Homo-oligomer: A and B are copies of this chain.
């Protein structure tokens, strides 16, 4: 039974990694599409999101099947419950990639990226892809040093998110209301990826420390100051 359980857990882990890989591709394509107004690339992201949703449902079904058939207790039980939560966070990251792709498509043939913020959004996009890669690697290897890497990238993204507000609220900002709306929404989306990544990373940490309460999602309080 124990061996069957461990095979099942490996299956769960493999699927989490697979979903994280798909999410990484979605984030990479969405942020590049946004940066370059590539509507074809944006369409790819929008179409592919259904695959991520499906994989997440399959993983949930597998986790529920494991709970029903193998009736794990203690730490084993928490691993399976964690997997359910990680899948929800990964699925949400896919949704946010889709949001960015939709914003890109809606603005086409205009540029979605507001003037004066190109380099900031390119940096945010690169960091988002890095975070997604680190998260995938963390899920694959359980190498805890990657948890700090994910947290650091989240901090950098929070800083960049604030810098978008600083720019938009500065005297030098010449964007119309539409550009301000786009900057606000796009920056929020770019920043949210990392919040979800930290949330998943914390659950991996729980599995080694056993401290469940730290796995609750903390909110990132990032809002524009005037």
The residues of A with any CB-CB pair to B shorter than 8 Å are 53, 56-57, 61, 64, 67-68, 71, 73-74, 77-78, 81, 84-85, 88, 91-92, 95, 98-99, 102-103, 106-107, 110, 165, 168-169, 173, 175, 177-178, 180-182, 184-185, 188, 212-213, 216-217, 219, 221, 223-226
Contact = CB atoms under 8 A, between A and B. Distances in A.
Nearest to A164: B181
Contact of A88 (B88, B168, B175): B88
B184 A180 contact: yes
Nearest to A85: B88
Contact of A188 (B57, B73, B182, B185): B185
A57 B216 contact: yes
A73 B81 contact: no
Contact of A181 (B61, B103, B180): B180
A185 to B, nearest CB: 6
A169 B175 contact: no
Contacts of A53: 216
Given A64-B77, A88-B85, A177 B185 contact: no
A81 to B, nearest CB: 6
A168 B185 contact: no
Contacts of A99: 219, 221, 223
Given A81-B67, A84-B84, A216-B56, A102 B223 contact: yes
Closest 7 CB pairs of A and B: A180-B180, A184-B184, A71-B71, A68-B73, A95-B219, A177-B180, A181-B184
Given A74-B68, A188-B188, A216-B56, A106 B225 contact: yes
